[in-house]
A and B are shown apart, each in its own frame.
Chain A
């Protein structure tokens, strides 16, 4: 296998920069953001260089590795800090550093008035480093470091304005939900080690055919748990909406384009495990379908623009997760949707940020309305992202979502029909909630209730948005054309070259159905929202809207099933510890804490008697020994 000495710099540069900005303190305030942006751009440049180098090699020589140092080695448990850049990880490297750099540039302007801008850029660089490690690690344990690293960066960035208690709580909630997922990743690694004596992707893949199916199912399900936590899938999805507390560029980069899609990467990377574990695959499919509908339903009722977009992210990742469950053929389509989604969702989040910038940080769409004419550039770019996400041909989302719907139908039998219908239904819901967002924000009556007109954002913010817009327009076609991405990823995710089981439904029929689904969704939304929109959310709404506004009671569920019982466990243990365990000790020892003066005399007696006991003990020992030996 080819080796490269460049890979470590991809991670080291942003990591060092992050540490530098944090350690330098105020001294770096003037230039910190510029250096961080430059570093991110350099990482992108390295990625591009590596891409061209990879294109220049034969298929079997494309992956490159680099061993950096021996990390842990105990008995058979040997883990090197080693990196692997192959056809799959290069997609992510370019997405992370490319979108990442654009978001750095955007943030220079967006965060220009924040007193902690330097710290913000330090966290962004930390995130880039951790996310690159996540996709470049050659073993599950290396991946784990990146996996929790992005969790840390996410925690720091969600809580960037943690003076507000609600934001600090949101950050904590995200970390804890992710940790639940991390239990899955930890256990997957343990089971893998017990099964294969190895935790590298290569080592496990080589022996995958010899493992028992129960071991594979167990590993698969644990990896899925990890993916569910990181990618905000049902039932660990509750943190993503709250994560919108972070600055909007963070929502775009971490909570839309890259980090939350890490679960899709994990499953795709572990294709050799899931392909050998049909049960786990089925659960993957179920989780994907539930989440894609769950997120869409929530998205239909949210008035907070960022939360509506977050619900949409949850739902779109549901599509991706579903596609990974339909492997081996589905993996490439999951990644295709991941990449196109990276463009259009990041573009729309930055667009939302631009709207907020012009609207005094207002996020409630009921206080928007008619903004299109004040912010034409933001409107157009957001509109392109909108056309892409709902899947209007020839925009990017059309191609990537279409392939997932097609693969779902072709899963065969009743399963195929059910999945196909679910994905189509999801497409209708997507069209509905996104049309709703666009109408409420850019069209209709102006509801912001203050005199200052919204203003367009500065060029530094608009340039990154427009570049992302180009991606949301063109990326789908480019990746789809001549099966470009499918063939590119084939050696990694589908080496056997498996095709659709049966072409149950012709692609052209699927496309027609998908477009019809979109038209239905858009029409309903237009019909419902074309009139005057109230600036206050209506109170008398149906049960489903009520539920969707409360995120389908996900927080209520977690609170009553985990939090409150957990709190009462803590409370009863505190009681048990003090009254029973310690009570017994106090009883036997005759100590009464807080008894005051009389105690002091008492304990001095104890010390003496203790010393006496020790002396007696030693003497007893010596005498016994002496008696025995004489």
Chain B
């Protein structure tokens, strides 16, 4: 059993242990969940230290026959991009648990079920990034919906049931399209090279143009729903508004990345020609998402909806970087996924604390928090600065790489995308002013500042945001070889500078 599988199983084991704990001992359940996920995070960092950066193939691979009739295997392995996303997932989970210690107390089924759901979700998240068998990926991809559905529906607030259903309907639609494509590609493989779901094998197929385009679209739409691009996005703001802050962090920070990850891993790798055909349209869609998300964010009155729309704008940047088909665009997009994970985590967690204290998520209900709760205000401000990609913070590096990588091939798209940075200043500074500045609004006078537990939870997130702004090299070193490989195997080379040295 490879280390990768072991790490993937660890949350499941922790979930089993929690299953045997007494139901009423909330504190014990929480501690077990926190300690075990911390250990998993450490284990995945250990995994990263064993990763050979000079190789571009999958590492820590393992393959066991699962359903032999169809040559379906339990096949896992990671390259640079899947590794950083697994790191993102495993590091965020304990932070979320610590940050939202009391989130499950009022839920429908209590703490025990809550943490089991979180832990099961963690196994599925690791699995979805590690799977190198298409069928296995599909199973993880679909299975992830179940714990999320219950986390929103059982522990959320407001219109949680409607939001959970909407989330499911969208996913159902995307999942079915992808399923059709999976069947299609399997049939083609069966005819050409024999039955297989191995993605390295599938990438070698010769597919005629029309079929390839259709198969590509099946995957792409599923992923464009997951990491929502306009117009497939309307489930996300509702889900984010209704879910608990911790669930929102995992939903927007990690699960949505499965969409953009899937675009790289499946759309481009399996269907390079179709990718080429659709690139102009996808870039257009991405640019629309950047601006649409930003404008919508500016208009939000509710803080979680605002964060959701900023994410839609950011997913536009990521998608643009991916389909620019340059090394800077691709590496920038992969780095963007990680950075967006952390900065969105910061935003949601702090917003969650603010909302809990004020018992309202309406932006205009806050005001003057800088004076009342300086630490919380500072953290919110830094998270906001990260969202508008202030140089010196992590998002700047990835956003600039995406823009510069896009410019060399699609200058017009990059120019329009760059306008997004002005809108970003608006959608961050307007709520910053309304919540932190101005006179203290009635009802906020006695708001308490962050507790020690909350400070401990947010500190590593902010530390990563700052450290990765100045020194992104360790993560870029992991991403670069894989990103280059994706671009070159898709048949692209970086546009050369106009002036040759």
Bound complex: CA A626 to CA B68 (Å): 11
Tell me the nearest residue of chain B to A155, going by C-beta.
Answer: B429
Q: Is B1 an interface residue (CB 8 A)?
A: no
B391 touches A145 (CB 8 A): yes
B498 touches A195 (CB 8 A): yes
Q: Is A490 an interface residue (CB 8 A)?
A: no
Chain A positions 588-630 with a Cβ under 8 Å from a chain B Cβ? 589, 591-595, 599-600, 603, 606-607, 610, 613-614, 617-618, 620-622, 624-626, 628-629
Residues of A within 8 A of B168 (CB): 606-607, 610
Produce 1/0 per residue, B159-170, CB < 8 A to A: 101101110111
A239 to chain B, nearest CB (A): 12
Tell me the nearest residue of chain A to B170, going by C-beta.
Answer: A585
B45 to chain A, nearest CB (A): 22
Tell me the nearest residue of chain A to B179, going by C-beta.
Answer: A617
Residues of A within 8 A of B231 (CB): 581
* Contact for B429 among A165, A175, A210, CB less than 8 A: A175
Bound complex: CA A260 to CA B70 (Å): 68
Residues of B within 8 A of A72 (CB): 397, 400-401, 472-473, 476
Tell me the nearest residue of chain A to B414, going by C-beta.
Answer: A190
Q: Is B439 an interface residue (CB 8 A)?
A: yes
Q: Is A211 an interface residue (CB 8 A)?
A: yes
Also in contact, A145 and B295, with CB within 8 A (given A176-B425, A186-B400, A194-B407):
no
A610 touches B299 (CB 8 A): no
Produce 1/0 per residue, B128-160, CB < 8 A to A: 000000010001001000000100000000010
Q: Is A577 an interface residue (CB 8 A)?
A: yes
Q: Is B426 an interface residue (CB 8 A)?
A: yes
Chain B positions 308-336 with a Cβ under 8 Å from a chain A Cβ? 326-328, 331-332
B162 touches A591 (CB 8 A): yes
Bound complex: CA A175 to CA B421 (Å): 12
Tell me the nearest residue of chain A to B424, going by C-beta.
Answer: A179
B176 touches A211 (CB 8 A): no
Residues of A within 8 A of B400 (CB): 72, 141, 186, 189
B299 touches A571 (CB 8 A): yes
Residues of B within 8 A of A599 (CB): 161-162
B69 touches A194 (CB 8 A): no
Tell me the nearest residue of chain A to B422, going by C-beta.
Answer: A179
Bound complex: CA A215 to CA B429 (Å): 34
Residues of A within 8 A of B452 (CB): none
Residues of B within 8 A of A159 (CB): 437
Q: Is A531 an interface residue (CB 8 A)?
A: no
Q: Is A191 an interface residue (CB 8 A)?
A: yes
Bound complex: CA A600 to CA B159 (Å): 11
Q: Is A213 an interface residue (CB 8 A)?
A: no
Q: Is B404 an interface residue (CB 8 A)?
A: yes
B165 touches A194 (CB 8 A): no
B166 touches A197 (CB 8 A): no
Produce 1/0 per residue, B430-447, CB < 8 A to A: 100100111100000000
Bound complex: CA A582 to CA B183 (Å): 30
Q: Is B114 an interface residue (CB 8 A)?
A: no
Chain B positions 368-413 with a Cβ under 8 Å from a chain A Cβ? 368, 370-371, 378, 385, 390-392, 396-397, 400-401, 403-405, 407-408, 411
Produce 1/0 per residue, B206-238, CB < 8 A to A: 000000000000000000000000110111001
Also in contact, A187 and B327, with CB within 8 A (given A163-B368, A165-B438):
no
Bound complex: CA A595 to CA B371 (Å): 41
Q: Which of B17-25, B27-35, B94-102, B489-497 contacts A (4 or more CB under 8 A)?
A: B489-497
B161 touches A603 (CB 8 A): yes
B70 touches A629 (CB 8 A): yes
B24 to chain A, nearest CB (A): 27
A570 touches B298 (CB 8 A): yes
A74 touches B496 (CB 8 A): no
* Contact for A625 among B195, B480, B497, CB less than 8 A: B195
Q: Is A182 an interface residue (CB 8 A)?
A: yes
Interface centre among B385, B407, B439, B497 (most CB of A within 10 A): B497
A570 touches B499 (CB 8 A): no
Bound complex: CA A304 to CA B299 (Å): 35
Tell me the nearest residue of chain A to B194, going by C-beta.
Answer: A629
Q: Is B296 an interface residue (CB 8 A)?
A: yes
Residues of A within 8 A of B183 (CB): 620-621, 624-625
B190 touches A625 (CB 8 A): yes
Q: Is A69 an interface residue (CB 8 A)?
A: yes
Q: Is B244 an interface residue (CB 8 A)?
A: no
Chain A positions 471-511 with a Cβ under 8 Å from a chain B Cβ? none
Chain A positions 186-213 with a Cβ under 8 Å from a chain B Cβ? 186-187, 189-191, 193-198, 207, 210-212
Tell me the nearest residue of chain B to A577, going by C-beta.
Answer: B296
A603 touches B429 (CB 8 A): no
Tell me the nearest residue of chain A to B433, going by C-beta.
Answer: A168
Interface size class on chain A is 35 or more
Q: Is B470 an interface residue (CB 8 A)?
A: yes
Tell me the nearest residue of chain A to B178, going by C-beta.
Answer: A617
Also in contact, A71 and B499, with CB within 8 A (given A594-B159, A600-B161):
no
* Contact for B437 among A165, A603, A625, CB less than 8 A: A165
Residues of A within 8 A of B497 (CB): 76, 193-198
B498 touches A577 (CB 8 A): no
Interface size class on chain B is 35 or more
Residues of A within 8 A of B415 (CB): 187
Residues of A within 8 A of B169 (CB): 585, 589, 591, 606, 610
Q: Is A569 an interface residue (CB 8 A)?
A: yes
Residues of A within 8 A of B327 (CB): 74-75, 77
Chain A positions 243-286 with a Cβ under 8 Å from a chain B Cβ? none
Also in contact, A603 and B438, with CB within 8 A (given A190-B407, A194-B497, A629-B70):
no
A622 touches B70 (CB 8 A): yes
Q: Is A73 an interface residue (CB 8 A)?
A: yes
Residues of B within 8 A of A168 (CB): 433, 437-438
Q: Is A363 an interface residue (CB 8 A)?
A: no
Bound complex: CA A212 to CA B70 (Å): 59
Q: Is A169 an interface residue (CB 8 A)?
A: yes
Residues of A within 8 A of B425 (CB): 175-176, 179
Chain B positions 161-194 with a Cβ under 8 Å from a chain A Cβ? 161-162, 164-166, 168-170, 172, 175-176, 179, 182-183, 186-187, 190
Interface centre among B161, B182, B397, B494 (most CB of A within 10 A): B161
Residues of B within 8 A of A329 (CB): none
* Contact for B470 among A71, A207, A617, A629, CB less than 8 A: A71
A101 to chain B, nearest CB (A): 24
Chain B positions 443-501 with a Cβ under 8 Å from a chain A Cβ? 470-473, 476, 480, 483-484, 494-499, 501
Q: Is B366 an interface residue (CB 8 A)?
A: no
A75 touches B326 (CB 8 A): yes
Bound complex: CA A345 to CA B471 (Å): 38
Bound complex: CA A411 to CA B362 (Å): 59
Bound complex: CA A210 to CA B501 (Å): 10
Bound complex: CA A163 to CA B331 (Å): 42
Also in contact, A211 and B471, with CB within 8 A (given A74-B327, A141-B400, A603-B165):
no
B401 touches A573 (CB 8 A): no
B429 touches A176 (CB 8 A): yes
Residues of A within 8 A of B235 (CB): 585
Residues of A within 8 A of B115 (CB): none
Knowing that A74-B331, A215-B498, A621-B182 touch, tell me 6 more A-B residue pairs with CB under 8 angstroms: A71-B473, A163-B439, A165-B439, A175-B425, A211-B498, A591-B169
Closest 7 CB pairs of A and B: A197-B497, A75-B327, A168-B437, A190-B407, A162-B437, A570-B299, A145-B391
* 11 A-B interface contacts by CB (under 8 A): A75-B328, A76-B497, A81-B470, A148-B390, A149-B391, A163-B438, A182-B421, A187-B407, A189-B404, A194-B411, A197-B496
Interface residues in chain B, defined as those with a beta carbon under 8 Å from any beta carbon in chain A: 67, 69-70, 135, 139, 142, 149, 159, 161-162, 164-166, 168-170, 172, 175-176, 179, 182-183, 186-187, 190, 195, 230-231, 233-235, 238, 292, 295-296, 298-299, 326-328, 331-332, 368, 370-371, 378, 385, 390-392, 396-397, 400-401, 403-405, 407-408, 411, 414-415, 418-419, 421-422, 424-426, 429-430, 433, 436-439, 470-473, 476, 480, 483-484, 494-499, 501
